[in-house]
Structure 1
Amino acid sequence: MDAPNPVTLELNGLRLEPLGPQHADALRDAARDGELWKLRITSVPEPQDVEAYVAAALDMRPARLAFAVVEAVSGRVLGTTSYHDIVPALDRVEIGYTWYRRSAQRTHVNTTCKLLLLAHAFETLGCAVVGFRTDNFNHASQAAIERLGARKDGVLRHHALRRDGTVRDTVMYSIVRGEWPEVKAQLRYLLARRA
């Protein structure tokens, strides 16, 4: 597998487009919808830090490829997501740095984004495995990852700093290539039920 190049993906009225400085104002607006930076267990930037957040995402290439999540018809930015910890030698990527404005949560948005990213990872990039990670106290994220069909690999103890200076345990999940057909069928089923 080669490191993924910037690409635009589209499905169900959503567009994932390469994140850039032009998304900063819209991303700031998305973060304000629910004051998401106040959540202890996420990495959503405070409004004044959005430009630095975008710049940091771009500086992490080729180990990270960040996307703006855009409502295709209106052009409204709903949030962001990324491929990260990209390891071409292992045919591995992770999906993370994902957050959506409050009004887009508990809708088809996350399922659609994951279907797009997983399909691209397995069917275009040729990944052998796609990983996910989350804070041990982010129970909503763990449930969402499990609904995708990912399997829990384990917990990395005392693994990463939170914004408040405490140290989190990180819960690791993955989907391997052989599981992708069933995961894909399940994601399509979930989206069909929402339609």
Structure 2
Amino acid sequence: MFVIIYFYLRYGGIYMLEDITLVGSTVELVPLERSHTDELFQAGNHQAIWTYLPKRISVLKDMMHWVDEALAGKRSRTELPFAVMHRQMNKIVGSTRFLNISEPNKNLEIGWTWYSPEVWRSGVNTDCKYMLLTYCFEQLGYVRVQFKADIRNERSNNAIRRIGATHEGILRKDRILPDGYIRNSNIYSITADEWPEVKNRFETKLLRGMHD
């Protein structure tokens, strides 16, 4: 049985990028709220998560700032952040978001994705990416979705390649990380004309219960 995704819009019409809850087979993606901060901290209180990301979360105050920055991006309409709620566990296990949103050009990036190590290689990432990409291409009518990853982060790069994204190149000296390291980032994308083939790959993986 294919995964069924339900779309719920809180505001506006279905072709506007607004608050939305996406329900998949394993997780729900719910609009990020400040009330999620404590649960996000519990899920993200593992330093292995933050090794290659531009922020470090060590104490609850760090997560409070992280959530506030995500919500500021939402208010500016450049980001749309989600909390990842595991349906069976009934708890938050991570976060992801749309960012660098360009509604006039119908493109955006999926990023700031992280999960608790307890759900790594569990299928959570496959479920999340399938829902987000389906929404982008089939509901919003977007033409391009981008992904970025530190070139050293083998786990993230492999996950992006496995979903069928095309490697476009390396963005050199892209970010200065908290430890002072200046990272280079791999750039990937999926375009609307590639989506049917990528979607078929997702649905094959989901039917087989394959892990990320």
TM-score (norm 2): 0.86
Matched, 1:60 2:70: no
Instruction: Tell me, yes or no, if structure 1 residue 75 matches structure 2 residue 87.
Output: no
SS at structure 1 position matched to 2:193:
helix
CA distance in 2, matches of 1:4, 1:46: 32
Alpha-carbon shift at residue 4 of structure 1 (Å): 1.2
Paired with 1:169 and 1:65, the residues of 2 have a C-alpha distance of 25
2:59 pairs with 1:47: yes
118-127 or 68-77: bigger deviation: 68-77
Secondary structure of the 2:126 match is helix
In 2: Cα distance, 1:19 partner to 1:74 partner? 18
Letter in 1 for 2:98: Y
- 2:73 is matched by which residue type in structure 1? M
Distance in 2, Cα, partners of 1:57 & 1:74: 25
Equivalent residue letter for 1:188: E
Tell me, in whole angstroms, the C-alpha distance in 2 between the residues paired with 1:162 and 1:110. Answer: 24
The answer to whether the aligner puts 1:169 opposite 2:169 as a matched pair is no
SS in 2 for 1:178: coil
Name which of 122, 128, 151 aligns with 1:107. 122
CA deviation string 1:51-80 (max 9, x = no partner): 110000000121110000001244300100
Instruction: Determine if contact 1:64/1:82 at 8 Å carries over to the other structure.
Output: yes
Distance in 2 between the 1:113 and 1:89 partners?
25
Q: Which runs of 5+ in 2 are unaligned?
A: 1-13
Deviation string, structure 1 residues 13-72 (Cα, Å, up to 9, x no partner): 31000011111010011012x4335x4212452233111100000001211100000012
Which residue of structure 1 aligns with residue 151 of structure 2?
136
CA contact (8 A) 1:40 1:162 kept: no
Cα gap change, 1:44 to 1:124, in 2 (>3 Å): farther
Structure 1 residue 109, shift from structure 2 partner: 0.1
Q: In structure 1, what is the Cα distance between the partners aligned to 2:196 and 2:112?
A: 25
Which stretches of structure 1, 4 residues or more, deviate above 6 A after TM superposition?
Answer: none
Return 5+ residue gaps in structure 1 as ranges: none
- The normalised TM-score by structure 1 is 0.94
Does the residue aligned with 1:54 lie in a helix, a strand or coil?
Answer: helix
Counterpart residue identity of residue 47, structure 2: E
Identity, in percent, stands at 34
Find the residue that maps to 1:41 and give its secondary structure. Answer: coil
Count of residue pairs brought into register by the alignment: 193
Structure number with the higher helix fraction is 1
